[in-house]
Structure 1
Amino acid sequence: MPKTHRGSVLWKLPSRGRGTCPVCSATRIKLLYTRTQPDGSQIKVCKRCSKASSERIDAAMKKPSFG
């Protein structure tokens, strides 16, 4: 039997959960993984960057975001 509800949560997210990853700057990629910093701030990243080092994530949060 088919799994009819697979991925249905993505349809409720803005832009179907896609955007530009702030760490690797990949465009039109799913941003489904949340990284939490020690100061409590959160950032959504792609699957590849979800396992990135915390230094790389910190550097991405410090650079200015346009948009």
Structure 2
Amino acid sequence: MLQHFQLRPLYDETKLPGWNFSFYFHQQKYTGIYHPNGNIEWKSISPDEHHLLALEKQIHDLMIFHIYDNQR
């Protein structure tokens, strides 16, 4: 499970979509950009293939909760 998930807007103008995110997994820090279409662009090394799909699913779920569900 990922820990210490943080997120901030990619642009100062918050109406433009895109978010920087970071988290720790197995004592390694990962950073990336979450694009409005759901694509994840890794700014750090990407997680190994064994964990990649599960972590991306957790990131999508967190983004839905923090960004899209909070706009209702």
Q: TM tier, shorter chain?
A: 0.3 to 0.5
How high is the TM-score relative to the length of structure 2? Answer: 0.31
Q: What TM-score comes out, normalization by structure 1 length?
A: 0.32
Larger Rg: 1
Higher strand share: 2
